[in-house]
């Protein structure tokens, strides 16, 4: 996730991964000595072990075997070997390594960051444009520490010293099954009277860009052309526009940020603009995009809840939705409104989620009609959209 405002949690005391007894190890690769020093200090104060710093990708790759980090914070623009060139080399040295890309908010860097996710990075983080901005940004500091906590805990739980199969339990950028037994969840029974879907909604956060693309690709353009598709992916401005372009290229369908008062049309993909809530207005005969700069919801803007609640009021039982991987619980309130209106909500399962926060919250609340692995969600949605059942 990279939201303008993201949920924050205190790091695990002492930087120790829950249940692992292992202090989370971090490497910082950035050509700015100021950034390396500040980030190292912040992480040290939060209780994490900064085992190495590197001024370029070559040094970072060479340091891997000596320091064996759980998380690498990897800048995109560096001399000798930049972040995009270093990423595959780092992952080859340490399968399952959690790499978070860091870049300033430019269209170029947004495009590169999204491409890095497809290559195995687990997330990305927007840096302030200047060293002064890095120094004074509480949001950047909070988001950075949160990512180290989440991804470092997931990686450290599967260290070979704690699990004989951990060394081979996954591939770079692919989430591994939880070390804890999954909590029991109840599925919501299907509605007796089936109303054909008229719209598809998708909510996602951390790990979402790759997951959303896979889901849409597996639904298929032939089916997607029959419905408007609305997506809330927690991202800042600039990134959402580039994300929409990537989805358009992948699906061969028109895809763009939603615009205020734009009429929904089948066969189009609408992405909530970073920093703005995207909802709906009108009635089922003519539905338009509603954008607003209102207060954050669930610590986020855009928020999944805003879109889901508006869709529940307008489309009711004709709404089909899915919540994919992501931190926090955004989407749960909206999912409740959708199910009460007769709509269907699917959720990604824990084993294939980068972070089982948002879909897990919906599953535990008993609001999901089905809880499915990422690889099965596209086909399930296609069947529901075309009237063949889940």
Indicate the pairing of strand 277-283 with strand 286-292: antiparallel
Assess contact for 285 and 168: CB atoms under 8 A.
no
Distance CA 289, CA 307 (A): 10
Residues 6+ apart with CB under 8 A from 300: 3, 4, 5, 6, 7, 205, 234, 328, 330
Residue 22 bears catalytic tag = no
pLDDT at 144: 94
Q: Detail the DSSP E strand segments found in 181-304.
A: 199-204, 229-233, 255-257, 269-271, 277-283, 286-292
Q: Give the SS3 label for residue 326.
A: strand
To the nearest whole number, what is the mean pLDDT of the chain?
Answer: 87
First to last CA, the chain: 28
Instruction: Report the distance separating Cα 142 and Cα 3, nearest Å.
Output: 12
> Under a CB-based contact definition with an 8 Å cutoff, are residues 190 and 354 in contact?
no
- Of 111, 108, 51, 58, the C-alpha closest to 86 is 58
Select which of 49, 305, 330, 349 is catalytic.
330
The structure tokens listed for 20 are 């692992």
Which residue, among 357, 271, 351, has the nearest Cα to 1 in the 3D structure? Answer: 357
**From residue 183, how far is each of 40, 163, 328 by CA, in Å?**
36, 21, 17
230/319 Cα distance (integer angstroms): 11
Task: Say how far apart CA 92 and CA 112 lie, in whole Å.
Answer: 20
Catalytic hit among 103, 113, 205, 353: 205
Give the least confident one: 116-120, 135-139, 180-184, 306-310.
Answer: 180-184
Residues 202-239: tens digit of each pLDDT: 999 999 999 999 999 999 999 999 999 999 999 989 99
Which phi and psi angles does 309 have, rounded to 5°? -65, -40
pLDDT of residue 184: 59
DSSP 102-159: EEES-HHHHHHHHHHHHHT--EEEEEPSSHHHHHH-HHHHHHHHHHHHHHHHHHHTT-
Please identify which residue in the block is written with the tokens 């949160």.
146
For position 174, what pLDDT does the model report?
A: 44
Pairing, β 98-104 against β 123-127: parallel
What's the pLDDT band for 67 if we cut at 50, 70, 90?
very high
68 is catalytic: no
Distance of CA 289 to the CA centre of its chain: 23
The secondary structure of residue 172, as a DSSP letter, is T
User: Is pLDDT larger for residue 291 or for residue 131?
Assistant: 291
The reported pLDDT for the residue numbered 323 is 98
Residues 238-265, mean pLDDT to the nearest whole number: 97
Question: What's residue 326's pLDDT?
Answer: 95
| SS3 at position 196 | coil
pTM of this structure: 0.86
Q: What is the pLDDT, as a whole number, of residue 20?
A: 52
Task: Identify the active-site residue in 49, 70, 94, 234.
Answer: 234
Distance CA 295, CA 84 (A): 36
Domains of the chain, CATH where assigned: 13-161 (3.40.50.2300), 199-385 (3.40.50.180)
Number of neighbouring beta carbons within 10 Å of residue 132: 10
To the query of whether residue 205 is one of the catalytic residues in this protein, the response is yes
Long-range contacts formed by 84-87: CB under 8 A, 24+ apart: 84/112, 84/115, 84/116, 84/119, 85/57, 86/29, 86/57, 86/58, 86/60, 86/61, 87/116, 87/119, 87/120, 87/121
As beta bridge partners, residue 54 has 29
Tokens representing 27 are: 């490497």
155-208 pLDDT, tens digit per residue, is 866 665 443 333 333 344 444 444 444 555 767 665 545 689 999 999 999 999
Average pLDDT over residues 75-92: 96
Mean pLDDT of 136-145: 88
Cis peptide before 302 (omega within 30 of 0): yes
């Amino acid at each position: 996730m990279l939201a303008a405002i993201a949920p924050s949690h205190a790091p695990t005391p002492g930087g120790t991964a829950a249940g692992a007894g292992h202090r989370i190890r971090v490497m910082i690769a950035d050509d700015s000595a100021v950034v390396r020093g500040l980030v190292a200090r912040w992480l040290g104060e939060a209780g994490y072990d900064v085992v190495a710093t590197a001024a370029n990708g070559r040094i970072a790759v060479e340091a891997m075997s000596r320091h064996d980090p759980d998380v690498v914070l990897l800048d995109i623009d560096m001399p000798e070997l930049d972040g995009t060139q270093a990423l595959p080399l780092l992952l080859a040295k340490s399968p399952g390594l959690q790499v978070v890309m860091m870049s300033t908010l430019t269209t170029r860097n947004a495009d590169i960051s999204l491409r890095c996710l497809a290559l195995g990075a687990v997330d990305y983080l927007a840096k302030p444009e200047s060293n002064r901005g890095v120094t004074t940004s509480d949001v950047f500091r909070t988001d950075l520490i949160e990512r180290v906590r989440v991804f470092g805990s997931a990686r450290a739980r599967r260290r070979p010293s704690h699990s004989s199969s951990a060394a081979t339990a996954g591939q770079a950028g692919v989430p591994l099954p939880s070390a804890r037994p999954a909590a029991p969840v109840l599925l919501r029974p299907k509605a007796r009277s089936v109303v054909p879907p008229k719209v598809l909604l998708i909510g996602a956060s951390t790990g979402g860009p790759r997951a959303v693309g896979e889901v849409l690709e597996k639904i298929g353009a032939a089916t997607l052309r029959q419905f408007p598709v609305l997506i809330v992916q927690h991202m800042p401005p600039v990134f959402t526009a580039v994300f929409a372009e990537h989805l358009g290229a992948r699906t061969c369908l028109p895809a763009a940020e939603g615009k205020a008062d734009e009429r929904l049309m089948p066969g189009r993909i609408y992405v909530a603009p970073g920093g703005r809530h995207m909802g709906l207005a009108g009635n089922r005969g003519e539905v338009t995009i509603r954008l607003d700069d209102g207060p954050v919801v669930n610590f986020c803007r855009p928020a999944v809840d805003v879109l889901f609640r508006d869709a529940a009021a307008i489309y009711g039982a004709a709404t089909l939705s899915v919540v994919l991987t992501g931190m926090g619980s955004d989407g749960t309130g909206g999912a409740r409104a959708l199910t009460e209106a007769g709509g269907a909500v699917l959720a990604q399962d824990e084993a294939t989620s980068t972070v089982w926060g948002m879909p897990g919250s919906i599953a535990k609340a008993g609001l999901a009609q089905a809880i499915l692995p990422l690889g099965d969600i596209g086909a399930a949605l296609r069947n529901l959209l075309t009237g063949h059942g889940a």
